[in-house]
Structure formats: structure tokens, C-alpha cells
């Protein structure tokens, strides 16, 4: 039987609330108190070709450079070693990340689920998965189960790691790339949607033009703001460029809009009071 608890009775190590920093302006978007929190689940979606994998790998590499003692894992269920080699040519810092390649069954001795659970059991500070849908499909095929069951198994595994149920007793943070429909909508069950801490979206200003400006925004965020846009550029070699000046302009614009909305509400309230007083 599950017992009730009171939050005032729970105790957590203070280090649980010390975030991982990328050293870029992206930290301000990741959390209201800056950085990537521990023991959370961030889902990453976006338009095709917008750079989801590149952004995630860049985040991981930046965090690793600032905190080399962290254990960071990238689970690749979409690309093999040859595919990721192209990324390392453009972004050499990606080459220092630990990567687990999960491929659809290539021989009878392939046991990806057992491999995944065993490696996660070692305890990682941050784990990125590319992508959840592809990994779910691989588990479904190899374990001969339904997609719903495969999703359940993956979510239970992630939740266990969030709660530090591993040999290092580390509250693992997950960054999980998820596929979208042709219209850009999120693919996944309601259970998956409810489990995530934040929905990080990578979008194009013009979804029909792959060369249009790209930006990061959050449509759901339990640890920060939604709707703020941070534009970025992938053309440079070695680092993702984030447009901090444009980000500040967007923040100022949102603040101005909020102030104007508040003034309009106050005006409407005063008008209602005046109208009601005159009516009586």
C-alpha cells in the first residue's frame, strides 16, 4: 500500500538543486535559476533538419567541458558510428562523449534492452536519447511486445534513474529527442506527456524554409518560462552560436506586453467599478 507523505518531512541533499551549466545563454532558458536541473526529464522536439541532435550534443559537450567529472551518456538509436563521425568532424568536442549505439537487431545475439538497462544501472548524471520513438520501436521488436508495453518499460526505467535507483545513487537527468508528425505535433501518449518536466522545441521561423532563422523555446516548463525565443546558428564549426542580444530583446518585448496587459486589466477593473457605482 502506498502511504501519504508531507513535503515538510522529506529531506534532500542540497546538491540535488545545483544545476548543470552549459556556459551559454541557453542556461537562462533551461531553468529560471539557470542551468539544467538534476533528476528531470526534458523532451526535445522540432521541425526536420532544425538541428535537434546537434543542439543536444553541444549541450552535453559544453557541460562536460565545465564539469569533466560528470558521467554523461548519449544513447544513439538513430545513427551508427559512421553517421555520428560527421558530427565530430564539424564539432570535435563531441568526440569526448560516451556514446551507446542502439541498433535494430543485426544478429540473433543482439539484446539491446538488457544492454541499455545494464549500462544505465552504472549511474549517469545526464543521459540523452536520440530518439525515444526509435528506441521504443527497437525494444518492441526485440522483446516481441506492443508499443504501449515498450513505452511503459522505458518510462519505468527513466523514472527509476530519476530517483537515483542505480549503483551510484545519482538522480539522472534525461534529455530525450522525440519525433513529430508532418505538421510538427508531438508524437507520444498522454502518459509520456505528463511525465516530462519540460517540452523544449526547436523551430524554424518559416517551417517550409529550412534556411529560415532557428530558435529554441519551451511550450511546457515546470522549471522556467514558456514562449521565450532563443535564436541559434549552426553554420559555425566547433560551437553552436546563440544570439544573446536577440534573446534579451525578446525578453524585453514580453515584459512590455505583460505590463501593457496588466494595465489594461487594471483599467477594465476600474471601469467596472465606476460603471457599477453609477448604476446603483
CA atoms of 234 and 248, how far apart (whole Å):
20
Compute the average pLDDT of residues 57-74: 96
Local confidence band at 126 (pLDDT 50, 70, 90 cut-offs):
very high
To 10 degrees, the CA torsion angle through 22, 24, 25, 31? 10
Give the pLDDT score at 266.
65
Q: Are 16 and 38 spatial neighbours (Cβ–Cβ below 8 Å)?
A: yes
Tell me the average pLDDT of the chain: 89
Distance CA 137, CA 106 (A): 15
Is the model's pLDDT at 279 over the cut of 80?
Answer: no
| Contact predicate 42/174, CB 8 Å | yes
pLDDT for the residue 99: 96
- Spatial separation of the C-alpha atoms in residues 61 and 240, rounded to whole Å: 11
Q: How far apart are CA 116 and CA 180, in angstroms?
A: 24
What are the Cα distances from residue 152, in Å, to 90, 111, 145, 148, 149? 36, 18, 11, 6, 5
- pLDDT at residue 184 in the model: 63
pTM: 0.88
pLDDT at 204 over 80: yes
Q: If pLDDT is split at 50, 70 and 90, which confidence band does 36 have? A: very high
pLDDT digits (tens, 9 = 90+) for 145-169: 999 999 999 999 999 999 999 999 9
∠ CA 210-24-194, nearest 5°, is 70
Q: What is the pLDDT of residues 188-201, one digit of tens each?
A: 788 888 889 999 99
- Does position 258 have pLDDT exceeding 90, yes or no? no
pLDDT score of 29 more than 90: yes
Report how far residue 74's alpha carbon sits from residue 77's, in angstroms, rounded to the nearest whole number: 10
Burial call 169-200: b when 16+ CB within 10 Å, e when fewer: ebbbbbbbbbbbeeeeebebeeebeebbbbbb
What is the pLDDT confidence band of residue 236, given thresholds at 50, 70 and 90? confident
Q: Furthest-apart CA pair in the chain: how many Å?
A: 84
Give the Å distances, CA to CA, from 153 to 3, 12, 99, 197, 249. Answer: 24, 27, 21, 19, 43
**Residue 123 region by backbone torsions, left for phi larger than 0, else alpha for psi between -120 and 50, else beta:** left
Amino acid at each position: 500500500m502506498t502511504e501519504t507523505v508531507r513535503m515538510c518531512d522529506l529531506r534532500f541533499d542540497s546538491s540535488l538543486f545545483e544545476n548543470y551549466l552549459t556556459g551559454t545563454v541557453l542556461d537562462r532558458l533551461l531553468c529560471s535559476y539557470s542551468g539544467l536541473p538534476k533528476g528531470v526529464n526534458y523532451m526535445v522536439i522540432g521541425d526536420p533538419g532544425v538541428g535537434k541532435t546537434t543542439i543536444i550534443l553541444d549541450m552535453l559537450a559544453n557541460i562536460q567541458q565545465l564539469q569533466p567529472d560528470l558521467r554523461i551518456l548519449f544513447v544513439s538509436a538513430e545513427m551508427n558510428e559512421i553517421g555520428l563521425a560527421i558530427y565530430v568532424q564539424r564539432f570535435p568536442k563531441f568526440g569526448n562523449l560516451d556514446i551507446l549505439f542502439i541498433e535494430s537487431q543485426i544478429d540473433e545475439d543482439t539484446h539491446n534492452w538488457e544492454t541499455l538497462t545494464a549500462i544505465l544501472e552504472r549511474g549517469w548524471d545526464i543521459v540523452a536519447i536520440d530518439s525515444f520513438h526509435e528506441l521504443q520501436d527497437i525494444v518492441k521488436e526485440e522483446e516481441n511486445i506492443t508499443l504501449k508495453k515498450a513505452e511503459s518499460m522505458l518510462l519505468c526505467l527513466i523514472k527509476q534513474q530519476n530517483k537515483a535507483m542505480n549503483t551510484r545513487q545519482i538522480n539522472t537527468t534525461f534529455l530525450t529527442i522525440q519525433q513529430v508528425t508532418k505538421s510538427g505535433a508531438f508524437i507520444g501518449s498522454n502518459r509520456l506527456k505528463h511525465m516530462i518536466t519540460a517540452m523544449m522545441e526547436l523551430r524554424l521561423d518559416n517551417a517550409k524554409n529550412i534556411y529560415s532563422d532557428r530558435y529554441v523555446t519551451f511550450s511546457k516548463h515546470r522549471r522556467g518560462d514558456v514562449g521565450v525565443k532563443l535564436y541559434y546558428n549552426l553554420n559555425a564549426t566547433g560551437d553552436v552560436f546563440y544570439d544573446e542580444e536577440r534573446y534579451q530583446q525578446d525578453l524585453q518585448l514580453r515584459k512590455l506586453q505583460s505590463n501593457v496587459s496588466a494595465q489594461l486589466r487594471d483599467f477594465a477593473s476600474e471601469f467596472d467599478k465606476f460603471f457599477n457605482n453609477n448604476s446603483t
